[in-house]
């Protein structure tokens, strides 16, 4: 167990951070999902890579896979990253976009509480978004399928929208 005052990094830096392909792809994703910096993108990429690595290891050891695969698949299904009938092979196809779609910022934007992902980020950081009555202030919070329909906005512009529709 590590020192509690020294948290570990939750992402890995790319081997070639200045390659044209990486820069174009990361700028496209950062603009599309309204990310503040590349670290947020690298964090989601790390999650996708982690689960793909776990899937490769479990495919290599089938006797070990029987015990360990169920909780991992259950977690990814609960997050909404994988479908209900997903298998171990589907874990190999995980992408960064699947994790970015499950962020609170993206879901608030897609539900129509905000006109842009940047506006969604502002609503979240200012404390206008609640899940199950709890105020969540992290735009990178990964929303589960159960929590998705319990998201509500307390900002006056959101309340006016609900009344008019």
Is residue 13 assigned to a domain? no
Whichever domain contains 111, its CATH number is 3.10.290.10
Contact (CB, 8 A) for 101 and 95: no
* Edge-to-edge strand ranges of the sheet holding 129-131: 134-135, 129-131, 151-153
Query: What average pLDDT score do residues 6-14 get?
Result: 86
- Per 3-state DSSP, the chain is made up of helix, strand and coil in percentages (nearest 5) of 55, 5, 35
Q: Work out the mean pLDDT of the chain and round it to a whole number.
A: 91
Q: Is it the case that residue 152 has pLDDT exceeding 70?
A: yes
Q: Is it the case that residue 35 has pLDDT exceeding 60?
A: yes
26 and 87 belong to one structural domain: yes
Contact (CB, 8 A) for 142 and 79: yes
Contact (CB, 8 A) for 102 and 84: no
Count of domains for the chain: 2
Tell me the per-residue pLDDT of 38-66, one tens digit each, with 9 for 90 and over.
999 999 999 999 999 999 999 998 888 77
Is residue 124 assigned to a domain? yes
Residues in a beta bridge with 152? 130
93 and 46 belong to one structural domain: yes
Query: What average pLDDT score do residues 7-21 get?
Result: 90
Tell me what pLDDT residue 112 has. 92
150 and 122 belong to one structural domain: yes
Q: Is it the case that residue 104 has pLDDT exceeding 90?
A: yes
Its domain, for residue 55, covers 20-100
Tell me what pLDDT residue 1 has. 59
């Amino acid at each position: 167990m590590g020192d509690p005052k020294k948290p570990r990094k939750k992402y890995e830096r790319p081997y070639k951070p200045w390659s044209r392909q990486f820069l174009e792809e990361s700028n496209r994703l950062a603009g599309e999902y309204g990310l503040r910096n590349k670290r947020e993108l690298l964090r989601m990429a790390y999650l996708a890579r982690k689960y793909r690595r776990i899937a490769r290891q479990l495919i290599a050891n089938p006797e070990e896979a029987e015990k360990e695969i169920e909780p991992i698949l259950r977690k990814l299904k609960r997050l909404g990253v994988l479908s209900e009938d997903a298998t171990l092979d589907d874990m190999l196809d995980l992408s960064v976009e699947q994790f970015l779609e499950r962020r609170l910022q993206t879901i608030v934007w897609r539900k129509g509480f905000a006109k842009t992902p940047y506006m969604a980020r502002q609503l979240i950081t200012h404390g206008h978004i609640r899940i199950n009555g709890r105020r969540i202030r992290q735009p990178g919070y990964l929303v589960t399928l159960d929590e998705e329909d319990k998201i509500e906005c307390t900002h006056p512009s959101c309340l006016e929208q609900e009344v008019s529709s």
